[in-house]
Amino acid sequence: MLKLEGVGFNYHTPEGEIQAIQEVSLDIKDGEFLSIIGPSGCGKSTLLSLIGGMLRPSAGRVTIDDQEITEPDPRIAWMPQRDQLFPWRTILGNVLIGIEVKRQPTLEDRRKAVALLEKYGLGDFIDRYPNQLSGGMRQRAALIRTLAVEPQILLLDEPFSALDYQTRLTVADEVRMIIQREQKTSILVTHDIGEGISMSDRVVVLSKRPAVIKNCHDVVLSTDSVSPMARRDAPEFGHYFNRIWKELDVQ
Amino acid sequence: MSEQKKISPGHQRYLDSIKKTEKKKRLWQISLLLAFLILWELAGQMKWIDPFIMSQPSRVWNSLENLVREGSLGLHIAVTTSETLIGFALATIIGLGAAIALWWFPLAAKILDPYLVVLNALPKIALGPILIVWAGAGPKAIIAVTVLVTVVVTIINLYNGFIQTDQGKIHLLRSFGASRRQIFLKVVFPSNVPNLISALKINIGLAWVGVIVGEFLVSRAGLGYLIVYGGQVFKLDLVMASIFILCILTALMYYAVVYLEEITMKIWHS
C-alpha cells in the first residue's frame, strides 16, 4: 500500500519560498486507479515527483508498505507528459531503457519486452524508430517502457495532453485496458475532469496553490466496464463532472 | 516504396519542372564561373588591368604547372592539410572533453563562465607570437594557433547543447534511478550528436583560418607559406594559384563533413 502522510513541499527561489503543497495525506490501495485533478500550476506534477522519489518532501513522508521513499524506487515507474521516446533508439531499445539503467538487459529481459510489445499490438514495430509511429502508438510504446521494469505502481503525468482529442480518447481507453490487464496500482495526474472520472476508481481534487486536498470522490458508475469510453456514457458521469467542475472553481 | 507506380501527367509535369530548375541552376553556376574567368583573362589581355598586380587565369595556370613540375605542390598541400587535420582533431577532442567536464561540474561552469566569454571574444590570433615563443617556430606553433582559434567555440557550442538537453528525457531516466554518468551516456550525448556535427562543420572552417594564419607567422612550407612568400616577392600568380588550391581543399573537407552528417543523421533518425 502506498501512503502519503502529511506531505508538504516548498519551492525555494531567490525571491522567496513558495508553498506548493500542504498537508496532503492519502492512502492508495493496491490495484486502485486514482486520479489527481487540480487547476494548472497547483503542484500536481510535483506531487507525482514526490511520490516517485524524484523530490524529497519538505514535510511528512511517502511510504510503500511502511518503507519510506527517499529516492527513485524500482517499485514505482513514471510515464511522462510527452512520450519522451528517444528518436535514436528503436522501439525495443526504448522499452529496454529502464532495465538498462539497472543492469545489462538479459535475453530474458528482451524476450519479456518483445512479448509485451506483441501483446499490445506493437509486435511489427519492434525494430522501427519512434518517428515511424503514430502519436497513439508512441504513447502505447511509452506505457510499455514503463511496464517493462515490472513496477507495482504507475505514475501517469498527464500522459495524453500532447495528443489531439480523438487520439486522446482512444489512447486513454487502450492505456486503461492495459493497466487493468497488468493489474497495476496507478496514479494519474490530469487537468481533464472527464478523463479523471472515466479512468479512475477515485478522484482527488486539489485546490489552488498551496495545494491541499479539497475533496475525494469514489467514482461509482452503473456500468461494469472499465473502458473510459463506456464509462463516459454512464448516467452518473455528468453528475460527477459537474460537482468536480464546481470544486475546481475555474473562473 | 520502389514499386512501379503510375505517374499522373500532372505529377510528371511537376517532376519535370523540378529537373528543369535544377538544370537551370547548374547552368547558371557554371556560366557565372566561366564568365568571371573569361572576363578576367580578357581584361588582362586587353590591358584593362595590370596582370602583374591582378594576375590572370592563364598566368595562374602556368604558376600551377610550375609548382607541379618542381614537384613541390604535393609537399605544400600535404603540410597544410595535415596541420589542419591535426589541429581540427585536437581542438574537437579537447573541446568535447572540456564541454563534458563543464556539464559534469556545474559549479566549475559557473566559475569559468566569464573567462570563457573573454576568451571567446578575444581574437586568438593575437596570442600567435606568444605561442611561437612557447612552441617554437614550426608546425607545433601552427597547430597550437589552430587549436586555440577553434577550441573555445567548440567548448561553448557543445556545452550549450549539453545543458539544453530535453529536461523531460533526463527526468525520465532519473525516474528509473539513472546515475549522472548514465544520464550523460544515454541521453545528453546521443541527443547532442547533431550538435556535435554542426560543431565539426564550424571547426573545419576555423581550423583552416588557424592554419593559414599560423603559416603566415611561421613556416617554410604549406599553402599559407606560398601565399605570404608570393606576396613578398610580388608573384601574385603564385598567390592566386595557392588560393585556388585552398578553395578546392576546403570545399573537399567541408563536403566530407556534410557526408558524415548525412550518415549520422540516418543512424540518429531525427
Q: Is the pTM of this model over 0.90?
A: no
What is the pLDDT at residue B4? 59
Report the first-to-last Cα separation within chain B, whole angstroms.
20
Q: Cα A120 to chain center, whole Å? A: 18
Statement: residue A215 has pLDDT above 60: yes
Q: How many Cβ contacts (< 8 angstroms) between chains A and B?
A: 57
Statement: residue B3 has pLDDT above 70: no
For residue A4, the cross-strand partners are A26, A62
Half-sphere exposure of B93 (CA within 13 A, CB side): 6
- B43 CB burial (10 A radius; 0-12, 13-18, 19+): middle
Statement: residue A251 has pLDDT above 70: no
C-alpha cell at B65: 604547372
Alpha carbons B151 and B120: distance in angstroms, whole number: 9
C-alpha cell at B89: 582533431
Interface contact A77-B175, CB threshold 8 A: yes
- Give residue limits of the domains in chain B: 9-49, 70-268
Residue pair B132/B213 in contact (Cβ under 8 Å)? The answer is no
CA distances, A52 to each of A6, A12, A115, A208, B79 (Å): 16, 20, 26, 22, 59
DSSP single-letter state for residue A211: B
Interface contact B175-A130, CB threshold 8 A: no
**Residue A98 — very low, low, confident or very high, per pLDDT cuts 50/70/90?**
very high
Determine contact: A165 vs chain B, CB below 8 A: no
Residue pair A44/A29 in contact (Cβ under 8 Å)? The answer is no
Of A71, A73, A88, the CB nearest to B268: A88
List the CATH code of the domain at B70-268.
1.10.3720.10
Q: Which residues of B touch A81 (CB under 8 A)?
A: 168
Query: B136 to chain A nearest CA, in Å?
Result: 46
What is the pLDDT at residue B40? 94
Order of all β-strands in the sheet with A67-68? A16-28, A2-13, A59-64, A67-68
Q: What is the tens place of the pLDDT at every residue in A77-94?
A: 999 888 899 999 999 999
**Residue A75 — very low, low, confident or very high, per pLDDT cuts 50/70/90?**
very high
Interface contact B177-A71, CB threshold 8 A: yes
Residue pair A2/A153 in contact (Cβ under 8 Å)? The answer is yes
Interface contact B268-A87, CB threshold 8 A: yes
H helices of chain B, where? 9-45, 51-54, 57-70, 73-104, 106-121, 128-135, 139-163, 167-175, 180-183, 189-191, 193-217, 223-232, 236-268
What is the pLDDT at residue B270? 57
Determine contact: A11 vs chain B, CB below 8 A: no
Alpha carbons A156 and A79: distance in angstroms, whole number: 5
What integer is the mean pLDDT of A172-192? 90
Phi then psi dihedrals of residue A158, to 5 deg: 40, 55
Superfamily of domain A1-73+191-251 in the CATH hierarchy: P-loop containing nucleotide triphosphate hydrolases (3.40.50.300)
Q: What is the tens place of the pLDDT at every residue in A220-248?
A: 888 888 889 889 888 888 889 888 988 88
- Give residue limits of the domains in chain A: 1-73+191-251
- Looking only at the bridges linking them, the beta strands covering A153-157 and A2-13 are unpaired
Q: Which helix (H) or strand (E) holds A53?
A: none
Dihedral in degrees, nearest 10, Cα atoms B16, B22, B24, B29: -170
Q: Which residues of B touch A130 (CB under 8 A)?
A: 269
Q: What is the tens place of the pLDDT at every residue in A28-49?
A: 999 999 999 988 878 888 999 9
All residues at 6 or more sequence positions from B194 whose CB lies less than 8 Å from its CB, including other chains: B264, B265, B268, B270
